[in-house]
Amino acid sequence: METEKPTSSLTETGTENKADKKRHLAGWILGPLAAILIWFIPIHGLSDTAQHLLAILSLVAIWWVTEPVPIPVTSLLGPVLCVLLGVAPIDTAFQNFANPMIFLFMGGFLLAKGMMVNGLDKRIAYGIMSMKWVGDSPRRIFLAIGVACMLCSGWISNTATAAMMFPIALGLLEAIRDMMAANGKTIDLSSYKYSTGLMLMTAYACSIGGVLTPIGTPPNIMMLGFLEQQAPDAPTVSFFDWMVWGFVAMVCYFVVAYFVLWRMFPADVKHIEGASQFIRERAKALGKWTRAQKNTLFAFCLAVVLWVAPSVISIHYGTNSDVVKAFNTRCPEAIAAMVGGLLLFFLPSGKGKGEKTLSWKDGVEGIDWGTLLLFGGGLAMGAMMYTTGLSQWIGDGIKLMMGGHPSEILFIAIFCVAALLLSEFTSHTAATNLIGTISIGTALSLGFSPIPVAVGVAMASSLGFMMPVSTPPNAIVYASGFVPITKMFRSGLIIDLVGVFLITIPIVLLLVKAIMGV
């Protein structure tokens, strides 16, 4: 799962802060100006309601990118303006803040918080790192760090995963420095190639893992929400369906990142003396499994079983059987997530009388309300674009610009690249809000299935590897001082290009079309 990208205040250089101030100022000016012009200048083919919505959407879009106010605030502002200016009644404008997808994500947040509070995430990470095959080999440590980050971030926040793995990676680098010093060789970790590579692997693997599940990162679940709104007649994408192609994408992205980073930033030693001991000591310090950790693992596994159960049941009874329909009616994916998350508030932790596995205070703090508000605002604006005909108008315009009948692969490639580029400079969720509804509306206008482009946009938006401000994991490792921005840009650019053109478009989307039969 992924939280929003850090604001510019988390960056280190004055240049970046000045650039952000200019970006904010530009947003203050351009957002209202664009909205006023679009509101009053007649636009052929648009109803008054759709034109007024377009004016509000232009303000929201510009402010999402330039961030003169926090992104979640902008997401709330859009529906508020729609009600104030008569574009939509309040029940229509705000109904999507209670969309089932919101509660699917909320349940995921509660499970993730339970894992973090009770130390289950660290136990999993150190469990992977302490496997015998890892040992003290720099290459295997490099691989193990990436695998641990990737698997954890499929279920908990990418930012939390990076924050957890960052000190582990630093400890390993310090072990290398001590080993080198013992052998009479002094190294500067800030200019040591392996340091840069290990830091970048930590960051990139956290983002890559987010594509595994619908709750792995906000763009995934947002695109599912847009599909539900704008293409209700399209085949339903289940949690299991997403995990199938998410797993393929995750593995392919990871393999590319691993080979690119190892080629660019190899170690100059074959063994890191003390590395395996460092990991064993950290793992031993966790002690025995606690009752709270067992409870959290049980709740998590229960949610996963409920998520994948419909697909397993359908193998025996058939997709359209009464058994599958009844299960989906009584236990849809949002309810499965909430069952797992809420269960943590009932199971005793074993720490003290009346203490539960997850406290109310920890649970509330564990929910990323800003992301949920941004998600709800995006769904709200997307729904109104669909009902007013604005998305169809935009789709028709893009269709005309693309020559009327472009190839499907070209159409998908354009939106995937647009999502990737935008995600490098703004929130992945904001980028998906902007690109998502338009891509689906255009697909419907062109007569294409909206599912492949929806999945492509979600996957491509997770490939933000070039800049420190692209994702929170990037910002975290950049702050270490071991990652020159030029190195991040070069390695990120290669992985981005290979990821979108050789994996997302030809492999993942073909798999999506094969599984969904579209």
pLDDT tens string 440-464 = 988 888 888 999 999 999 999 888 8
pLDDT of residue 186: 67
Which DSSP symbol is given to 233? T
The residue type of 381 is M
Q: Residue 169 domain-assigned?
A: no
Q: Residue 27 domain-assigned?
A: yes
Q: Residue 445 domain-assigned?
A: yes
Q: Give yes or no for residue 49 having a pLDDT over 90.
A: yes
Q: What is the CA radius of gyration of the chain?
A: 23
Q: Give yes or no for residue 328 having a pLDDT over 80.
A: yes
d(CA 117, CA 270): 36
pLDDT interval class at 261 (50, 70, 90):
very high
Q: Residue 258 domain-assigned?
A: no
Q: Residue 124 domain-assigned?
A: no
Look at 8 and 44; give whichever has higher pLDDT: 44
pLDDT of residue 6: 43
- Per-residue model confidence as pLDDT tens digits over 88-114: 999 999 998 988 888 888 888 888 888
Look at 286 and 495; give whichever has higher pLDDT: 495
Q: Which of 331, 391, 303 is nearest to 100 (CA)?
A: 331
Q: Which bin fits 234, alpha (ψ -120 to 50), beta or left (φ > 0)?
A: beta
DSSP bridge pairs for 348: 356
- Per-residue model confidence as pLDDT tens digits over 185-195: 666 666 678 88
Rounded to whole angstroms, what are the CA distances from 304 to 181, 245, 250, 339?
Answer: 47, 17, 18, 11
d(CA 5, CA 291): 34
Q: Residue 205 domain-assigned?
A: no
d(CA 208, CA 203): 9
Our count of domains for the chain comes to 1
Number of C-alpha atoms within 13 angstroms, CB side, residue 471?
Answer: 34
Q: Residue 66 domain-assigned?
A: yes
Cβ neighbors of 474 (< 8 A, separation 6 or more) are: 203, 207, 464, 465, 467, 468, 488
DSSP bridge pairs for 356: 348
Cβ neighbors of 98 (< 8 A, separation 6 or more) are: none
Look at 217 and 55; give whichever has higher pLDDT: 55
Q: Residue 25 domain-assigned?
A: yes
Look at 394 and 198; give whichever has higher pLDDT: 198
pTM of the model: 0.80
* Residue range of the domain that includes 31: 8-100+371-516
d(CA 198, CA 103): 35
Cβ neighbors of 91 (< 8 A, separation 6 or more) are: none
